[in-house]
């Protein structure tokens, strides 16, 4: 097995960043490069009272998300775990799972390392599972990194 390129999707959440250490470790082991991607999903306007005098235009919100991604991606690439690694930062627009799968195929990546938010039951039904959709549709192997389980406190 040869791993030359790893795709690392991130949503910048604490849970979303658990996959970073796995991707960095694998990149070091295989001397692979990492493509770190953030997907900006379409904003669907809602109807009704928002509490704001005037709602922000969707274009402004999208621009803010792009600016945020452009600020946050370099922080991931500059972290201690990634020191010395070849990391490309990419921002794409669309539905997260579809864009991750598309980019992986387009760039011919060898492995996708993605975090799972660990939702089950109703939360999974309501929010779906990006990681699950990527596993089903990706052309390459996918490593799904689950967040560490919180230790149960004694009562």
Q: How confident is the model at residue 13 (pLDDT cuts 50, 70, 90)?
A: confident
Contact (Cβ atoms closer than 8 angstroms) between residue 116 and residue 131: yes
* Sequence-distant (≥ 6) Cβ neighbours of residue 93 within 8 angstroms: 39, 40, 41, 42, 62, 99
pLDDT at 25: 95
14-29 per-position pLDDT tens digit: 877 789 999 999 999 9
The single-letter DSSP state of residue 13 is: S
62-79 per-position pLDDT tens digit: 788 888 888 899 998 888
pLDDT at 1: 80
Kindly state the tokens that stand for 35. 């493509």
30-52 per-position pLDDT tens digit: 999 999 999 998 876 655 555 55
pLDDT at 125: 47
pLDDT at 123: 46
Total-model pTM: 0.82
Q: How far, rounded to the nearest angstrom, does the alpha carbon of residue 29 sit from its chain's CA centroid? A: 22
> Dihedral of the CA atoms 44, 48, 51, 57 (nearest 10)?
40
pLDDT at 102: 98
User: Looking at the predicted structure, is the pLDDT value of residue 7 above 80?
Assistant: yes
126-138 per-position pLDDT tens digit: 445 899 999 999 9
Count of Cβ atoms closer than 10 Å to residue 73 Cβ: 20
pLDDT at 53: 53
Q: How confident is the model at residue 154 (pLDDT cuts 50, 70, 90)?
A: very low
Distance of alpha carbon 41 from alpha carbon 62, whole angstroms: 9
Reduced to 3 states, what is the DSSP secondary structure of residue 29?
A: helix
The single-letter DSSP state of residue 18 is: T
Query: Can you list the domains of the chain with their CATH numbers?
Result: 5-44+56-145 (3.40.50.620)
Count of Cβ atoms closer than 10 Å to residue 11 Cβ: 16
């Amino acid at each position: 097995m040869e791993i030359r390129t790893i795709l690392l999707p991130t949503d910048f959440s604490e849970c979303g960043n658990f996959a970073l250490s796995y991707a960095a470790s694998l990149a070091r082991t295989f001397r692979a490069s990492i493509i770190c991607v953030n997907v900006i999903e379409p904003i669907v306007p809602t109807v009704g009272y928002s509490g704001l005098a005037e709602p922000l235009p969707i274009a402004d919100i999208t621009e803010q998300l792009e600016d945020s991604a452009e600020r946050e991606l370099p922080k991931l690439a500059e972290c201690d775990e990634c020191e010395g690694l070849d990391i490309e930062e990419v921002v794409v627009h669309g539905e997260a799972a579809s864009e991750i799968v598309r980019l992986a195929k387009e760039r011919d990546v060898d492995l996708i390392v993605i975090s799972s938010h660990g939702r089950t039951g109703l939360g999974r039904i309501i929010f779906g599972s990006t990681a699950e959709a990527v596993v089903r549709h990706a052309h390459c192997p996918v490593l799904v990194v689950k967040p560490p389980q919180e230790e149960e406190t004694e009562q």
